Amino acid sequence: MSGRGGAISRAMSKTAKTIKKPADALTKAEARAELKTLAAEIARHDELYHAKDAPEISDAAYDALVARNRAMETRFPDLVREDSPSRRVGAAPVEVFGKIRHDVAMLSLGNAFEDTEVAEFVDRVRRFLRVPQDDALVVLAEPKIDGLSISLRYENGQLVQAATRGDGTTGENVTANVKTIRAIPHRLKGKDVPELIDVRGEIYLAHADFRRLNAAQAEAGEKIFANPRNAAAGSLRQLDAGITARRPLKFFSYAWGAASRLPSDTQSGVVAAFERWGLPVNALRRRCEGPEELLAFYRSMAEKRASLGYDIDGVVYKVDRLDFQERLGFVSRSPRWAIAHKFPAEQTTTVLRDIEIQVGRTGALTPVAKLEPVTVGGVVVSNATLHNEDEIARKDVRIGDTVVVQRAGDVIPQVVSVVLDKRPKGARRFVFPEVCPACDSHAVRDTDEKTGKADVVRRCTGGLICPAQAKERLKHFVSRNAFDIEGLGGERIELFFDEGLIRQPADIFTLEARNAKLPEPLQGRKGFGAKSIENLFKAINARRTIALDRFIYALGIRHIGETTARDLARAFGTVEAFRTAVAAAVAGGGRESEAYRDIDNIEGIGETVVDALVDFFGEPHNTKAVGDLMEAVDGLRPQITVEPYSRPATVASTVTGKTVVFTGTLEQVTRGEAKAQAERLGAKVAGSVSKKTDFVVAGADAGSKLTKAQELGVTVLTEDDWLKLIAR
Ligand code: IVH
């Protein structure tokens, strides 16, 4: 094998040949020809360095090539090539990042912390796919990079667009910045590069580069970054791409979104193709069989972690066969075919100074530990959750105690335990309040209907009069997965609420008109630039039309998270249908009413949710708040328009738009898979049989649903009939 020295001298001699004439002595034709070879050569070294981790030339020699390129371009500005390395220094600053909607959503991963959860993952996959224990099930294991995810669109091999993850559906357009990253090729090479592919991966900063960056920041009196991840994010989200260009960001590709064609039928095959195309991939990935091999991989990564030179926060396991991935599909926002196995949370000790009570959107009183600030896992922590009053008692946490604090990933830091040896004499027990600290209403612990036990959560009974609840509801309303109003964060909500400017959601949409008439309009105030207020109103106006699922989620009704909101939106289709059905359930007066049952019958919805809906809409103030958003008030136009729910792209088929009920035991696929498959084909899967049902697919031992179908004259199919029908 030729050593690094040999490779370098070889490359140097090649360079030496090209530096025959100084740049300012070249003719235009010579410069044109050399700029072409130089662009290719620099791109090759970029790939060797970033994607292959096998540089052939020293940094100084590389810099000399770049300098030569620059010198020629300065002399002949009209010769600057589309693929010139100098284009990596960044375009003119942008004012704000544009938005890009991802054709295929960028999802997150479910987590496993324990070994048993990994075995359960493999079992679950086998069961879902009906792959017997003796058949091979290959799973690709790879490090989980702690950076920020990015989607790179290549059209005919050319990098045309780069978008951050954002909320998973819509990200920010960071194309200009990404184009400055040397690790990311502007052009993919190879015969099997598809016409279109969104390559996905992680942008990160290596430890050494992070330390250098922070040292330089400190010297310049600029912001110090808490950890490499924050530094990478801060470096990428620069409005001036020139700054991004000076930060040595790196990249690993490991997934994809939309693609016109794929180069392989396995995950590992596609990643191998990425590598051939010139994209950096992580060399530590490994195809494994069975939980033992996966766990061995996990342990070896845990050992290597400190010496990798970049942050990883666990490993990721992905079912290798893409046809299996397709069949497994997704649950909520994560794929069923992959899971992240996280490293244990980092822990440290610090002193608990005090305990404060926070009041949540549904009135829950949460104790928050106020800590002596301490660094855990690269982040300074001064608040941590204590969960609830029973937890404080169970851990016997007292004010003044030294406590163990832990932080894992994005989760809120937690107080794990008390270091009793260090308990000071005067350590004080905390008395949990029985009144709400925000509105003085009684705070009570409900009794669970089923168990008869007191609920762990104490709730404020102030409801509408409680300002803390109202503020939290507003914060939820504008949050990322709800109305997503940029520029209207927690602090501004607090301020506008205290001033009486925003008391309920509809007020957000009338703020601009009212602001104009204020004695002291917002843009004149300290901390509110004219530009920032203009942007705020722009952001608000951009949300006057909203998708039904986001709208339902934004209302902040108890027990209605994103998934349930989507189930409701899918079932009702339009906001009118939703409101009518809920109003009927409220009027129905109980769980036995038909209107109540209709909602309860929706797949994924149970009594807890219907009760919560009835409670919410049974409250006239809430109905009015929703009405104020959607109906004309005092002759003014409605504040917002709610779009009917649009199903995610489905494949048109013989069952598109049909309602199907599965009952009994299916033999060839699991119930979960049958349901996922039907939904992919555009069918609606219902939990109970009614006149509206198109097909009942009856497996072995089908019971009352089959009888009901026969009574109502609904078409009954065997599992075989069904599979034939959808294969058409
Ligand atoms: S796969 C459909 N592989 O982890 C899921 N993600 O918690 C596609 N991440 O948003 C993601 N390393 O930013 C995948 N080797 C890896 C990863 C990885 C880091 C990040 C990614 C994702 C998050 C999910």
* Shared domain check, 317 and 183: yes
Token readout for 293 is 């091999």
Please give the average per-residue pLDDT across 485-502, as a whole number: 94
Asked if pLDDT for residue 6 goes beyond 60, the answer is no
Span 38-69, pLDDT tens digits: 999 988 888 887 766 677 887 778 878 888 99
As beta bridge partners, residue 148 has 203
Q: How far is the CA of 340 from the centre of ligand 1 (A)?
A: 8
Of 342, 375, 396, the residue that ends a domain is 342
The verdict on 559 and 683 lying in the same domain is: no
Do the Cβ atoms of 552 and 560 come closer than 8 Å? Answer: yes
Residue 272 lies in a domain: yes
Query: Quick one: pLDDT band at residue 4, thresholds 50, 70, 90?
Result: very low
Which of 109, 167, 319, 334 to mutate to test ligand 1, by most ligand atoms within 8 A of the CB atom?
109
Closest C-alpha to ligand 1, atom 12: 144
Is position 431 within any domain?
no
Which of 139, 142, 144 best tests ligand 1's pocket when mutated (most atoms within 8 Å of CB)? 144
**Range in 206-215, 375-384, 623-632 with the lowest mean pLDDT:** 375-384
**How far apart (Å, rounded) are the C-alpha atoms in residues 380 and 226?**
8
Q: What is the CATH number of the domain that holds 285?
A: 3.30.470.30
Note whether residue 303 is domain-resident. yes
Q: Give CA 544 to chain center in angstroms.
A: 24
Q: What is the number of alpha carbons within 13 Å of residue 105 lying toward its C-beta?
A: 14
Token digits of residue 358: 């926070």
Asked whether residue 84 is domain-assigned, the answer is no
Cβ–ligand 1 contact at 109 (below 6 Å): yes
Residues 672 and 624 in one domain: no
- Identify which has the larger pLDDT, 331 or 587: 587
Closest Cα to atom 21 of ligand 1: 149
Phi, psi angle pair for 258, to nearest 5°: -65, 145
Residue 505: inside a domain: no
pTM of the model: 0.63
Out of 21, 28, 144, 223, pick the active-site residue: 144
Q: What's phi and psi for 507, nearest 5 deg?
A: -60, -30
Residue 102 forms part of a structural domain: yes
pLDDT at 426 over 80: yes
- Ligand 1 nearest-atom number relative to CA 148: 13
- The torsion angles phi and psi of 672, rounded to 5 degrees, stand at -60, -45
Segment 237-261 mean pLDDT: 92
pLDDT value, residue 409: 60
For the chain, the residue count is 728
Mean pLDDT of the region 80-87: 82
Q: Is residue 249 exposed (0-12), middle (13-18) or buried (19+ Cβ within 10 Å)?
A: buried
Q: How far is the CA of 20 from the centre of ligand 1 (A)?
A: 48
Are residues 215 and 332 both part of a single domain? yes
- Atom number, ligand 1, closest to the C-alpha of residue 165: 10
Q: Tell how far the Cα of 232 is from the centroid of ligand 1, in angstroms.
A: 16
Question: Which pair of tokens denotes residue 594?
Answer: 């038909």
The total number of structural domains in the chain stands at: 3
Q: 616 with 707, same domain?
A: no
49 lines ligand 1 (CB under 6 A): no
384 CB within 6 A, ligand 1: no
In this predicted structure, what is the pLDDT of residue 80? 87
CB distance 441 to ligand 1 below 6 Å: no
Same domain, yes or no: 588 and 703: no
The tens digit of pLDDT for each residue in 622-675 reads 999 999 999 877 777 788 999 988 766 566 778 888 899 999 888 877 777 788
Rounded to 10°, the helix 59-75/4-18 angle is 20
User: What residue has token string 């609606």?
Assistant: 684
Once rounded to an integer, what is the mean pLDDT over residues 163-172?
Answer: 89
Distance 675 CA to ligand 1 centre (A): 26
CATH number at residue 711: 3.40.50.10190
Q: Which of 327, 342, 357 is the last residue of a domain?
A: 342
Span 262-280, average pLDDT: 97
Cα–Cα distance, 497 to 476 (Å, whole number) = 14
Nearest CA to ligand 1 atom 24: 108
Between these two residues, 468 and 25, which has the higher pLDDT value?
468
Q: Give the model's pLDDT for residue 3.
A: 30
- Name the residue with the closest Cα to ligand 1, atom 2: 107
Nearest atom of ligand 1 to the alpha carbon of 108: 24
Q: Tell whether 121 and 234 lie within a shared domain.
A: yes
Q: How far apart are CA 477 and CA 14, in angstroms?
A: 62
Any ligand 1 atom below 6 A from CB of 281: no
How does residue 296 score in pLDDT terms, banded at 50, 70 and 90? very high
Residue with tokens 């922590």: 381
Are 264 and 167 contained in the same domain? yes
Q: What are phi and psi of 321, to 5 degrees?
A: -70, 130
| Per-residue model confidence (pLDDT) at position 474 | 96
Write the CA distances from 323 to 24, 136, 320, 337, 546, integer angstroms: 58, 15, 9, 11, 35
- Considering the domain architecture, whether residues 160 and 266 belong to the same structural domain is answered as yes
Confirm if 11 and 56 have CB atoms less than 8 A apart: yes
Indicate whether 722 and 580 sit together in one domain: no
Q: Would 79 be classed as within a structural domain?
A: no
- The kind and range of the H/E element at 399 are strand 398-399
CA 199 – CA 255 distance, rounded (Å): 6
Residue 573 pLDDT > 70: yes
Answer whether 232 contacts ligand 1 (Cβ < 6 A). Answer: no
Backbone dihedral angles phi then psi of residue 454, each to the nearest 5 degrees: -70, 140
Residue 707 lies in a domain: yes
CA distances from 489 to 99, 494, 629 (A): 19, 9, 20
Query: What pLDDT digit, counting tens, does each position of 109-161 carry?
Result: 999 999 999 999 999 999 999 999 999 999 999 999 999 999 999 999 999 99
CA terminus-to-terminus distance, the chain: 57
Alpha-carbon span 657 to 659, nearest angstrom:
7
The two tokens of residue 598 are 């209709």
Question: Using CA positions, which residue lies closest to atom 18 of ligand 1?
Answer: 144
Among residues 342, 368, 384, the one where a domain terminates is 342
> Using an 8 Å Cβ cutoff, are 542 and 483 in contact?
no
CB of 585 closer than 6 A to ligand 1?
Answer: no
Under 8 Å between Cβ of 462 and 445: no
Q: Strand ranges (DSSP E) for 122-237?
A: 138-145, 148-155, 158-164, 170-172, 196-204
In the prediction, which pLDDT does 59 show? 75
Which one of 145, 274, 320 would you pick to mutate in the ligand 1 pocket, going by the greatest count of ligand atoms within 8 A of its CB? 145
Ligand 1 and 325: CB distance under 6 A? no
Structure confidence at residue 702 as a pLDDT band (50, 70, 90): confident
When pLDDT is averaged across residues 192-197 and rounded to a whole number, the result is 96
414 touches ligand 1 (CB under 6 Å): no
How far is ligand 1, taken at its centre, from the CA of residue 597, in Å? 40
Q: Is the pLDDT of residue 413 over 70?
A: yes
Pairing of strands 111-112, 338-342: parallel
Report how far apart, in Å, the C-alpha atoms of 277 and of each of 102, 191, 257, 287, 569 are: 23, 9, 17, 21, 42
Distance 108 CA to ligand 1 centre (A): 7
Alpha helices in 150-240 (DSSP H): 175-178, 207-219, 228-236
307-408-116-291 Cα dihedral, nearest 10 degrees: -40
Supply the CATH number for residue 560's domain. 1.10.150.20
Task: Verify whether ligand 1 is closer than 6 Å to residue 327 (CB atom).
Answer: no
Domain shared by 620 and 706, yes or no: no
pLDDT at 250 over 80: yes
**What is the span of the domain harbouring residue 223?**
96-342
- Asked if pLDDT for residue 11 goes beyond 50, the answer is no
Taking the centre of ligand 1 as the mean of its atom positions, its distance from the CA of residue 722, in whole angstroms, is 36
For position 651, what pLDDT does the model report?
66
- Indicate if the pLDDT at residue 9 is higher than 70: no
Element (H, E) at 341: strand 338-342
Residue 144 a catalytic site member = yes
With the most atoms of ligand 1 within 8 angstroms of its CB, the residue from 164, 198, 199, 202 to mutate is 202
Confidence (pLDDT) at 526: 82
Q: Is the pLDDT of residue 2 over 70?
A: no
- Cα–Cα distance measured from residue 115 to residue 298, given in angstroms and rounded to the nearest whole number: 10
* C-alpha closest to that of 255 among 322, 204, 323: 322
Q: Report the pLDDT averaged over residues 218-245.
A: 86
What pLDDT was estimated at residue 464? 83
Atom of ligand 1 nearest to the CA of 315: 15
Top-ranked range on mean pLDDT: pick from 81-90, 466-475, 685-694: 466-475
Query: Would you state the pLDDT for residue 673?
Result: 75
Average pLDDT over all residues of the chain: 89
160 and 245, same domain (yes or no): yes
pLDDT of residue 299: 97
The residue whose two tokens read 């927690």 is 490
| pLDDT at residue 333 tops 90 | no
| Rama region for 162: left / alpha / beta (φ>0; ψ in -120 to 50; rest) | beta
